[in-house]
Amino acid sequence: MSTRRYHILLENGSLGPFDRRTIVGLRVKNALSDTQTLLDSNGRKLSVQELVARDARRARMRPVSVTASLIQASYPATLVGLQGRGFPVPRFQGEIEVRVQPEGLRIAGAFRRWNGWCQGRIKIPLEHIAHARTQGGQVALWLRPPGAGEDTPRERLQGLTLAMGSAREAQELLHWLPAEPPPFGLQPAAPLPATGRRLVWAVPMGVVTAVFLAALTLRLF
């Protein structure tokens, strides 16, 4: 992964430096617009949109090899919605890689486990993507659980929503998926809850619990 850093240029100065994952995360949270100007560590100016789309262009220009020939398309994205049971999709945080391969959709990235970060991936067979739809720069997917057939009721479908680099990339990804548009009334997956707030409360609650147990022990003995 590149160690290049970026400054956000403002009218009265700049903010940063930030890595690419942070820039993408700020964009997903609408804290940065596509037209916001960045300055990379080489002194080159570029927009947020150009930064997000660059990896996708590089993937399409990659020389063909035995491994690359199996990759039909590759896009940077962010997991913004996950709902229901089915495939064991990690709660990826930050930028992820979405690959389209003949056997299915491969999603890889980082996620938190306890107090550390882990790298993980999930492969979803294309035939298990029942419905797909784009809305702006997002792609909403509805998945049939492993082992389920085409007659799976809608309440059993697993929802997955990806924020792509642009509306164009969202349309490109949809083009690769042999899925039908969702029926009327089928809603995309609910947004993932913020993890930061949960971690903030975990520390004081742990301290309170420890103090309570210590006081109880002293009272009993």
pLDDT in tens, 80-100: 999 999 999 999 999 999 999
Residue 1's pLDDT is 42
More confident residue, 208 or 142: 142
Distance CA 62, CA 59 (A): 5
Tokens of 65: 């090899």
Residue 194's pLDDT is 64
Q: Percentage of the chain with pLDDT > 70? A: 77
Q: What is the mean pLDDT of residues 39-57?
A: 78
- Residue 76 burial (CB count, 10 A): 23
The class (CATH top level) of 71-189 is mainly beta
Q: What is the mean pLDDT of residues 155-164?
A: 94
CA distances from 50 to 23, 81, 139 (A): 12, 24, 20
CA distances from 158 to 86, 131, 146 (A): 6, 10, 10
* Mean residue pLDDT across the chain: 80
Q: Return all residues near 11 (Cβ < 8 A) that are at least 6 apart.
A: none
Residue 147's pLDDT is 85
Asked if the bond preceding 17 is cis, omega within 30° of 0, the reply is yes
Domain with CATH 2.30.29.30 in the chain: 71-189
The answer to which of 12-16, 88-92, 121-125, 163-167 has the lowest mean pLDDT is: 12-16
Distance CA 137, CA 115 (A): 31
Q: What is the mean pLDDT of residues 170-174?
A: 90
The answer, yes or no, to whether residue 203 has pLDDT greater than 80, is no
Q: Percentage of the chain with pLDDT > 90? A: 33
Residue 192's pLDDT is 82
Going by pLDDT thresholds of 50, 70 and 90, the confidence category of residue 190 is confident
pTM of the model: 0.60
Distance CA 144, CA 150 (A): 8
Going by pLDDT thresholds of 50, 70 and 90, the confidence category of residue 68 is very low
Q: Return all residues near 17 (Cβ < 8 A) that are at least 6 apart.
A: 5, 6, 7, 41
The answer, yes or no, to whether residue 61 has pLDDT greater than 70, is no
Distance CA 99, CA 71 (A): 7
The answer, yes or no, to whether residue 200 has pLDDT greater than 60, is no
